Amino acid sequence: MSKKSNNDFFDNTTTIVLLGILIILIGIAIYMFVLDSPPLIDNFSNNNGYKLEFFSMDGCGHCEDFKPIWHNIEKNLQGYTLHIGPNNPNYHNLVEKFNIGGFPHIQIVDKNNIKISEWSGPREVSSIVNWFKKTANL
């Protein structure tokens, strides 16, 4: 019978410890990814539950041109806006649900995530902000 050396014991223990650390790190990475992923329906704290959504698409020049305008809209309507891009895990489901065929797409939804209205006017801060405020009775 061969006798196990102390090195075999340490090699096995080291392997188990390293695997345990790796599993913990993977778990932390998954947990952080889930925390960073936006939910299908955000819980907005505004009084009527309305939110203004901006759908964009990778490689869309009009979407890129609209992003600075959207940033100003977000400043004017803090707590009422949501940008939904292709990195959102629910993006494709939402694009299909709302039958979105062109980008950028701007719409108002209620607290039940039902589309109330869709923007078709000029892509200007004041026009979109006024439209949202009027529609949402703000």
- What digits encode the pLDDT tens for the residues 37-94? 444 444 455 557 899 999 999 999 999 999 999 999 999 998 899 999 998 898 999 9
User: What angle is formed at CA 114 by the lines to CA 82 and CA 91, rounded to 5 degrees?
Assistant: 50
Q: Residue 52 in contact with residue 73, Cβ under 8 Å?
A: yes
Q: Specify whether domain 51-135 bears CATH 3.40.190.10.
A: no
Q: Residue 134 in contact with residue 108, Cβ under 8 Å?
A: no
Q: What is the pLDDT of residue 95?
A: 94
Q: What is the pLDDT of residue 42?
A: 47
10 pLDDT higher than 70: no
Q: Residue 73 in contact with residue 81, Cβ under 8 Å?
A: yes
Q: Residue 128 in contact with residue 52, Cβ under 8 Å?
A: yes
- What digits encode the pLDDT tens for the residues 106-128? 999 998 999 999 999 999 999 99
Q: Residue 119 in contact with residue 107, Cβ under 8 Å?
A: yes
Spans of all domains in the chain: 1-36, 51-135
Return the half-sphere exposure (C-beta side, CA atoms, 13 A cut-off) of residue 37.
14
Give the predicted TM-score (pTM) of the model: 0.65
